[in-house]
Structure 1
Amino acid sequence: MDPSPHPLSQFVLKMHSRCDLACDHCYVFEHADQSWRGRPVVISDELLDLTARRIAEHARTHRLDTVHVVLHGGEPLLAGRNRLRRAAQNLSTALSGVSALDLRIHTNGVTLDEQYCELFAEYDIKVGVSLDGDRAANDLHRRYRNGRSSHTRVLRAIELLSGPRYRHLFAGLLCTVDLRNDPVTVYDALAELAPPRIDFLLPHATWDEPPPRPDASATPYGDWLLRVHDRWTAAGRPMGVRVLDSVLRTLRGASSLTESLGLAPVELAVIETDGALEQADSLKTAYDGAPGTGLHVAVNSLDEMAAHPGVTARQQGLDGLCETCRNCSVVRSCGGGLYAHRYRSEGGTGEFMNPSVYCADLKQLITGIRDREDRRTPMPHLPLDDVHLAEIAAGFGGADAVDRLARHELTVNRELLAAVWHESPHDETGTAAWETLAVLDTEAPESVDAVLAHPYLRPWAQRVLRGDREAGPIAMRGVAELAAAALLRSGQAGGVTVPTHLGVLRLPTLGALVVDGATQAQVTSVSDESFHVRVEGREHTVGLKSAADPAWWARHRFELPGWAVALEDTDPWRDAHGYPVRDRLSAAAVESWHRDLAAAWEWIRRELPDYAPGLAAGLSVVTPLRESTAGADISSAARDAFGAVGIARPGTPQTLACLLVHEFQHVKLGAVLDVADLYDPTCERLFYAPWRPDPRPLEGLLQGTYAHIAVVDYWRARRRTAPGAEARDAEVRFARWREQTAEAVDTLIGSGALTDLGMRFVTAMGETVANRLTEPVDADALLSARRTAADHKVRAAGLD
């Protein structure tokens, strides 16, 4: 565990310390901490200026790619438009050229109007709104001081945010669970409003003040959320539900989307209206003064805040949990629950080394979702229903649609592994490894799935099944490598003998160990953090995430907001992209990749939000390729490596964003083609492709056309965001690619070789492109684009 504090990247800025509602479950006003009473009602302009400078200073020092700020309260709208504008302006100015700014506001919505929305549109401030369900559910808590309902006014605010003018600002709804409300009724009321995301929050409680549990039920909150899960799933998971998505992600080994689940470090600070630097507001439920640090934005740096014991205590992962939590089977999903919910007073001092007061509920929720996911089976013939297929055909595809493709690809990998085993000669080492893998598949299936979903399993299996000269040794070595990696991921005790190759012990999804001339190694699991490797009398003790042993090449894995991605520079089967791959990266190169991936991902989330959920669900590996000596951008998606793309690191994060979404289009479509017949495979004709000098077979044209939907949208976004001459160039490219992609769609439809399903699929592609054709473009840019397109067609005809 790295003992140094993590830099802070998330800030809650208190704009106003009072509220126009009197919600009786509010942790700010109604719980143990009452510090709000002595604070200024509104934050001053001077503190806003200073806070922006402090945040920018911290971001510059730590080279943060993105800073996340939530304007909060009390009720932040009570601060008024002028003060909110000043906050947004100061933050935008201070962070310009330093970090991207993700600016949000959380409001009860009762005073939200068009003037506020215009201000939020000007500064791209995303808006989250609190609503607890239908009127009856909402009125249990969210009322004015005179008892009057707030429901009608909140619905008016949501209607405003849901309209086409401000829809891009709508971040979602926040709902606090109340067991008196029927979960299905609450979910249906919220879902009817079509929010982009719903947050269900457990009511803040501690062991001193436990939550109500009617009928003495041990898991009423877990059961309540499971009923929401079932309703959400039956409806096709039409929007994100943060707590449920977080459980699903952590069960797959990815990062959580909320601080209340998972083991990721918390990197949050609160700036109060008097400039006090505090910990998370949820701590107000523990005891009076619990969030306090004694620090102040006018006196202390944010580095000092990051080093505060109360902050670092929430950055220790497993080491920061009590023994009960550390030994729990679902700890990697639960993460001990929300820090404040672990509080139990001892001798008048705060004590957080306990399980969550919702421990049983969280375990019920996590195991319930896990068991339901295990029982979900692919649909006959096609693992996508009509809704999900339509999402992907349009060029996008949400997390659930892509997850269905991923689960099918995992099934294919399992079938290929079984074929390798049955068709290859077995040796003693391979047999023992296979038996270990079989046992783990029963006792720790998530660990086996995580390894078998590795994108480069299929290239290895296909080479074995092609009967290459070394197929036998490759087969048994690969089985042993997979078994050892699954064993280490499971944390179970045991050992696997693994043949090595060219002086390297390969552990898929984990990394590689340099063993020089040894031909095999004995891998022994010690814990879920480290393992032993014995090689010809030498023994290595290796930390899975540690670079302490120079012989251990740990996989580079980055936890970005909402996306976990690995740089793959150790797997020998990564050479599947048609271009030379980079050798093991230097620490400086890894840091450059990390920085650029984070910035590219933030750009995708902000400018191409329709592509982000699917990419996060399905793209887990980026393989660095060697850069072109001519300076050209290089990227590739291997048809048989679902979940991976190969990219030579380009010059800017924006270009990297383009390459990521472009190549992931190929990944998605490749998976669709694994399960659906979209065209007649006997078609041998070649077709003009506007992006290639040579004519293409039908599948090649289909792949290129689908990928260029994302290219069109990339240039659509760039013309809006790029400076000066770059914006002009982007407009020309947008004009060119939308017309030529529309032409390619027409070519596909007119080919006569599409199946009925293929015709539906390509027609949906065409509808997305047609929507782009309606957008106005500068006449000169359009003329330039058409000249370039015509020149390309003439040159391509000359080569034909």
Structure 2
Amino acid sequence: MTADPPLLGTSGGPAVIRHQLAERAFDAIATGVGDGTSVRALFATERSQRRVLLRAVLDAARPRPDAHGPLVAVDEVWDLLVRAERSDPAETARVLYQPQTGIWATHVLRRIRNLVYDDAPLWADVGYLHAMAAAAAIRCGLRFRLCVPLRQGAAMLPTLGYARLPVRDAWETVEVAVTARGAVRCTSRSGTTVDIRRPLDLDTDDSAGWTPCTVLHARAGRGALSVVLDDIDPYRHILRPSRPARLTPAALRRWETMLTQAWSLLVTEHPEQARGLSTGLSVLVPLARAERFRPRSASSGDAFGSLLLSEPDDAVQLAATLVHELQHAKLGALMHLFDLYENDSRNLFYAPWRDDPRPLGGLLQGVYAFFGVTRFWRRQRQVAAGSRSVLAHFEFALWRQQVAHTLRGLLAAPELTGLGRRFLDGVAIVLAGWLTEPVPGNVAQRAAAAAMNHRAGWRIRHLCPPADAVEALARAWAAKVAVSGPVPPSDMRPDPAARLLDTRSALTRLWLADRDAFRELQRCDGVGRRVSGATAADLAYVSADYPSARQLYLSDLADSPDRPDAWVGLGLTAQAVGHKLVAQAVLTRPELVLAVSRAVAARTGRRPHPWDLADWLGGCLRGQGADAL
């Protein structure tokens, strides 16, 4: 890989670079092999993307007086960046190409174009460029003086740390200067100073008022991983700038331990993914602890190399999450180079890993991410033992099924370009082999039920059946006559309040992995306070106490006839006990069952019995199946 061209002066633009990706590299990325080489190639393109964004900010901010405020003009800052790069290109690159730069640049451009609102003055956001220039100059050993934003008492020097100074106003400036002895002095408008004696030593907090960045190191065999655990940079989060939120020492130790263990697992058992992560991952942004088996993670195409994630349950979960987000990063970089689908598509699709409908681009990202997750669990089930092995079999069986279901629909989408179809064909070829691999019978059944649970839960919340078909069925029910003939497909009407579609899947994971914890959950009062969205009926269903589950779901529907989760739970219970007609109706067209129940109540003044209605509708729908998602 050739060296990056230098940034140009204030009157020029970024140098023209033509990136190419060999056909075999494109195909390797699709099939998930050769990750180290492919990520290095993609990272080179992301550096070019970052330079273009930097130049766009410069051009957009230059004519705006409110983009400068009390700070010097952006042209002067650009000149300092050019000076730093000429002195030490590698150290300057560490600042310019950090993932937070991409989030910051896109945020500033959206603000200037009035696409987002922020209560901070525009100059405070634009001034992150000044902070980057100061950090680059410090890294290069240059002498300089420059004012940078002081955001609510914190002056960030990207990749180094932040100084804390008392403030009169939420938005002020602080002067950063390098002393004759090479130390850094930050001086507020009130004259308060913070001296940073060793700014490049990220492992030592040696100055009052100075908090260095945290870097975690992990090593296993010949593989090494070093990442910034970023809890301080204002642009570490995707949606909006954030204040520093330092981890406690205990939380930091847990992250260090988890990362060390996860990296050892990846290097030992998943070496291709480890090579990709060592090249493409540079920043972890910690989020608050999530519920067990419900980790939260996110990444952005604007921030290649950065990953936001909640504190994991264990090292295996962390390793799986790292693989998941690496897939997102690779595909995001690839889509900066190639059009895999037409951008004018406004259609929304079912995504088996989300509560909400997704656009085509998001669905493509999800397929590729969970393709990588499936690969991870395929290997993990071969090396895990005991309950961990059972859980790995479950994850493999579930995600190969969900990816295959979604992939079939994606490959039929007319919006795909030729390259997009070629990319997904590569995924499909590998996945086809995995679909034939055996999984223990009981685990396979639970994975199939989990897939059906999510699909039915999504349908009942986001689809609406035709009103005339609903009324016809309600009249027929009231008249006690049978109905035959196909029911037209439902229309999508997204429900923005839909959430917690994974509740029964989370309980299933707990049942498979930690039976003692599950039984403790059964003994406690208020299961919904422990596992959001869970009910006593769900516990009975997951533990295979189907008579109790049926009665409890019916009781829930007697109290709240429109509860989507109770309707779907009733259908799953019917499927488990072999009542095909009830399962047919509730699991393939749950939105229709609920709509007819409401229509019957409106017509007769009382709700029909859920089981009886579903049994009757199952007969009406016999052989029809669900319309495609």
Aligned pair partner of 2:263 in 601, 609, 613: 601
Aligned to 1:228: none
Distance 1:507 1:788 in 2: 47
Secondary structure at the aligned position of 1:726 is classed as helix
Q: How far 1:527 moved relative to its partner?
A: 9.6
Q: How far 1:656 moved relative to its partner?
A: 0.8
Distance 2:382 2:451 in 1: 22
Secondary structure at the aligned position of 1:574 is classed as coil
Verify: 1:520 aligned to 2:173, yes or no: yes
Aligned to 1:441: 85
Secondary structure at the aligned position of 1:790 is classed as helix
Aligned to 2:3: 373
Verify: 1:400 aligned to 2:51, yes or no: no
Spell out the pairing of 1:299-310 with structure 2 (5 A cutoff).
none
Aligned pair partner of 2:205 in 532, 541, 547: 547
Aligned to 2:599: none
Letter in 2 for 1:417: L
Aligned to 2:627: none
Aligned pair partner of 2:307 in 637, 642, 645: 645
Spell out the pairing of 1:194-205 with structure 2 (5 A cutoff).
none
Q: Check 1:781–1:578 CA distance in 2 against 1; reply closer, same or farther (3 A cut).
A: farther
Q: Aligned residue pairs: how many?
A: 430
Unaligned runs of 5+ in 2: 7-13, 464-629
Q: How far 1:472 moved relative to its partner?
A: 4.0
Aligned pair partner of 1:590 in 231, 252, 270: 252
Distance 2:138 2:310 in 1: 31
Letter in 2 for 1:373: A
Query: Conserved in 2, the CA contact under 8 Å of 1:523 and 1:531?
Result: yes
Letter in 2 for 1:517: V
Distance 2:434 2:208 in 1: 52
Q: Check 1:471–1:395 CA distance in 2 against 1; reply closer, same or farther (3 A cut).
A: farther
Q: Deviations over 1:706-747 (max 9, x none)?
A: 010121122223322333223123212211211221222222
Aligned to 1:21: none
Distance 1:379 1:530 in 2: 38
Q: Deviations over 1:284-333 (max 9, x none)?
A: xxxxxxxxxxxxxxxxxxxxxxxxxxxxxxxxxxxxxxxxxxxxxxxxxx
Letter in 1 for 2:270: L
Query: Conserved in 1, the CA contact under 8 Å of 2:103 and 2:303?
Result: yes
Spell out the pairing of 1:183-332 with structure 2 (5 A cutoff).
none
Query: Conserved in 1, the CA contact under 8 Å of 2:232 and 2:244?
Result: no
Q: Deviations over 1:306-363 (max 9, x none)?
A: xxxxxxxxxxxxxxxxxxxxxxxxxxxxxxxxxxxxxxxxxxxxxxxxxxxxxxxxxx
Distance 1:440 1:628 in 2: 42
Q: Deviations over 1:754-795 (max 9, x none)?
A: 101111111111122223223332233323322322233222
Letter in 2 for 1:463: H
Aligned to 1:17: none
Secondary structure at the aligned position of 1:611 is classed as helix
Spell out the pairing of 1:614-693 with structure 2 (5 A cutoff).
614-628=276-290, 632-693=294-355
Over aligned residue pairs, what C-alpha RMSD do you find? 2.8
Q: Check 1:755–1:382 CA distance in 2 against 1; reply closer, same or farther (3 A cut).
A: farther
Distance 1:391 1:772 in 2: 17
Aligned to 1:751: 413
Verify: 1:506 aligned to 2:156, yes or no: yes
Aligned to 2:455: 793
Letter in 2 for 1:435: D
Q: Check 1:793–1:629 CA distance in 2 against 1; reply closer, same or farther (3 A cut).
A: closer
Q: Deviations over 1:594-645 (max 9, x none)?
A: 1111111111111221211111111100001122368731111123211101
Aligned to 1:531: 184
Letter in 2 for 1:557: V
After TM superposition, the score normalised by the length of structure 1 is 0.50
Identical pairs, percent: 32
After TM superposition, the score normalised by the length of structure 2 is 0.63
Secondary structure at the aligned position of 1:569 is classed as coil
Q: Deviations over 1:251-276 (max 9, x none)?
A: xxxxxxxxxxxxxxxxxxxxxxxxxx
Verify: 1:414 aligned to 2:51, yes or no: yes
Verify: 1:474 aligned to 2:124, yes or no: yes
Query: Conserved in 2, the CA contact under 8 Å of 1:582 and 1:624?
Result: no
Aligned pair partner of 2:425 in 736, 741, 763: 763
Q: Check 1:685–1:514 CA distance in 2 against 1; reply closer, same or farther (3 A cut).
A: same
Distance 2:180 2:40 in 1: 30
Unaligned runs of 5+ in 1: 1-232, 234-371
Query: Conserved in 1, the CA contact under 8 Å of 2:235 and 2:241?
Result: no
Secondary structure at the aligned position of 2:99 is classed as coil
Q: Check 1:578–1:538 CA distance in 2 against 1; reply closer, same or farther (3 A cut).
A: closer
Q: Check 1:712–1:599 CA distance in 2 against 1; reply closer, same or farther (3 A cut).
A: same
Distance 1:785 1:695 in 2: 22
Q: Check 1:786–1:485 CA distance in 2 against 1; reply closer, same or farther (3 A cut).
A: same
Letter in 2 for 1:421: L
Q: How far 1:458 moved relative to its partner?
A: 2.1
Distance 1:528 1:557 in 2: 26
Distance 2:229 2:123 in 1: 27
Distance 1:527 1:742 in 2: 63
Query: Conserved in 2, the CA contact under 8 Å of 1:490 and 1:528?
Result: no
Aligned pair partner of 1:491 in 141, 159, 180: 141
Aligned pair partner of 1:463 in 97, 100, 107: 107
